[in-house]
Amino acid sequence: MIFNSLIKPKSELTTITEDTTLEEALKILEDSGYRCVPVLDSTKTMFRGNIYKMHIYRHKSRGGDMTLPVTALLKNSTKFISINAYFYTVFFAIRDLPYITVLDSQNHFYGILTHNSLLELLAEAWNVNSGRYVLNVHVSDERGDLAHITKEITRFSQIVNVISLDPDDQPGKQVLFTLPAEVDRERVDKIVKRLNKKGFEVTEIEDLHHQ
């Protein structure tokens, strides 16, 4: 389920209704500074789609009728997720959008989840403030490797975060282990030496505090 704290609710959003003209919508977009806003039905409960500033500009530049309702240029009408959707679903749904619309359990417009909120979540998960060094360890798909590496690292230090990546251009996985802020480089070198001895390759060491 999506974290409620990530969702910007309808009450805090600039939205327009489906009977708004393109001329009116363009003024709302220019005044708000947004490149697109959600379009709702006349009751302001059902999501109809998004209206983009660039599409209105293009329509206007071609001599299009600006008294038409925004429904004439609606986009992303099927781009939405349920508030009960699995969290990882969000990453695929929002991939090419500035935000993804969130519907409540009655399929009413609830709010939006933006790219920025997801990036902020990932930054928090990375533990930039409480972490210091990040070890990028190449892990094969052998059973027990992750548990083995974790055991070796925790001989010397706590682990504040783990992220697993699966690059297409190489076999196995890259696992990023974030170590706490109090860990110094000397201890990091001991961890790396230990992992190398056990047959695990540390491909990169990143200092989160290094400018």
The structural domains of the chain, with segments of one domain joined by +, span 4-120, 127-207
Tens of pLDDT, residue by residue over 56-79, are: 999 999 999 999 999 999 999 999
Q: What are the DSSP calls for 169-192, one per residue?
A: TSSSEEEEEEEETT--HHHHHHHH
CATH homologous superfamily of 127-207:
ACT domain (3.30.70.260)
Q: How many CB atoms are located within 10 Å of the residue 70 CB?
A: 25
- pTM (two decimals): 0.70
Q: Which are the contacts of 141, defined by CB distance < 8 A and separation ≥ 6?
A: 171, 172, 173
User: CA-CA distance, 9 to 43, in Å (whole number)?
Assistant: 17
**Burial grade of 38 (CB within 10 A; 0-12, 13-18, 19 or more):** buried
Q: 4-120 has which CATH code?
A: 3.10.580.10
pLDDT digits 0-9 by tens, 106-130: 999 999 999 888 877 777 666 666 7
State the chain's maximal CA–CA distance in angstroms. Answer: 72
